[in-house]
């Protein structure tokens, strides 16, 4: 099996370092902040901040992460099993969760993921891809006021299964900002990728922020220009979609 085929099965496409750095610099507000990457791959996000914890299913990738980010704590295993057992809470989170479609995202891992989502109030459908429960469960591990910044598939803007996740985020963060990016962040990948910024865990927002960029460039902050979409309008007039 080729490297690209293995990536497609595992949903792991490693993020360019400059994208990792941009997201981490926004999520982290101080050197003491504890950062979580729930699917850390080879450790690119956790390498961008010394006080980090990464979880990685793949044993070889976890070893790469330990070498790439020696200051970070790396747990090798299933994120949802680890999340169910940890008492630790985090100031921020950042990463690029695996994009595994429902046909492949199955078995015990899927059952644990959907069960944990239901326990925190996120009822995901049988068509859910893996990234959505990764984000929901990660959010539940944040401390009050926490932030998270993630690479997400463009499906966050139109897939019906993504709507319950956005509802949950709006109910638990002061700011939810979705950024559509036209140019591909991963040139070798057919999947279009967007960005998600959430701030103020423990709060609530009545509007979604939505930006559309031609391309994403290195920056420490989300786009200053955005459309305010009231959650009620998003449900009724936007049909629970965000489209550029």
Q: Which of 205, 236, 212 is nearest to 226 (CA)?
A: 212
Average pLDDT score over the chain: 91
Average pLDDT over residues 27-39: 98
Residue 11 — very low, low, confident or very high, per pLDDT cuts 50/70/90?
Answer: very low
Secondary structure of 25-65 as H, E, C letters: HHHCCCCCCCEEECCCCCCCCHHHCCCEEEEECCHHHHHHH
Report the CATH number of the 12-236 domain. 3.40.50.150
Q: pTM, whole model, 2 decimals?
A: 0.92
Residue 218 makes CB contacts below 8 A (sequence gap 6+) with 18, 19, 21, 22
Tokens of 101: 């479609």
For the cut 80, the answer to whether the pLDDT of residue 39 exceeds it is yes
Residue with more model confidence, 244 or 225: 225
Q: Centre a 10 Å sphere on the Cβ of residue 166 and count the other Cβ atoms it contains.
A: 22
């Amino acid at each position: 099996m080729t490297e690209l085929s293995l990536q497609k099965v595992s949903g792991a496409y490693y993020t360019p370092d400059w994208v990792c750095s941009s997201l981490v610099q926004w999520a982290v507000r101080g050197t003491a902040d504890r950062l979580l990457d729930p699917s850390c791959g080879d450790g690119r996000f956790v390498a961008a901040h010394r006080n980090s914890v990464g979880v990685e299913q793949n044993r070889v990738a976890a070893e790469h992460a330990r070498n790439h980010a020696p200051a970070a704590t790396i747990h090798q295993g299933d994120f949802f099993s680890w999340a169910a057992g940890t008492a630790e809470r985090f100031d921020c989170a950042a990463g690029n969760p695996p994009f595994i479609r429902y046909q492949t995202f199955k078995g015990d891992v899927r059952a644990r993921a959907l069960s944990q989502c239901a326990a925190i109030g996120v009822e995901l459908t049988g068509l859910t891809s893996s990234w959505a429960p990764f984000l929901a469960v990660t959010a539940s591990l944040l401390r009050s006021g926490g932030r998270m910044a993630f690479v997400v598939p463009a499906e966050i803007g139109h897939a019906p299964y993504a709507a319950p996740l956005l509802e949950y985020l709006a109910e638990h963060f002061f700011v939810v900002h979705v950024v559509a990016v036209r140019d591909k962040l991963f040139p070798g990948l057919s999947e279009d990728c967007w960005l998600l910024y959430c701030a103020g865990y423990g709060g609530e927002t009545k509007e979604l922020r939505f930006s559309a960029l031609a391309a994403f460039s290195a920056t420490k902050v989300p786009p200053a220009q955005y459309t305010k979409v009231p959650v009620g309008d998003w449900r009724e007039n936007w049909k629970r979609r965000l489209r550029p």
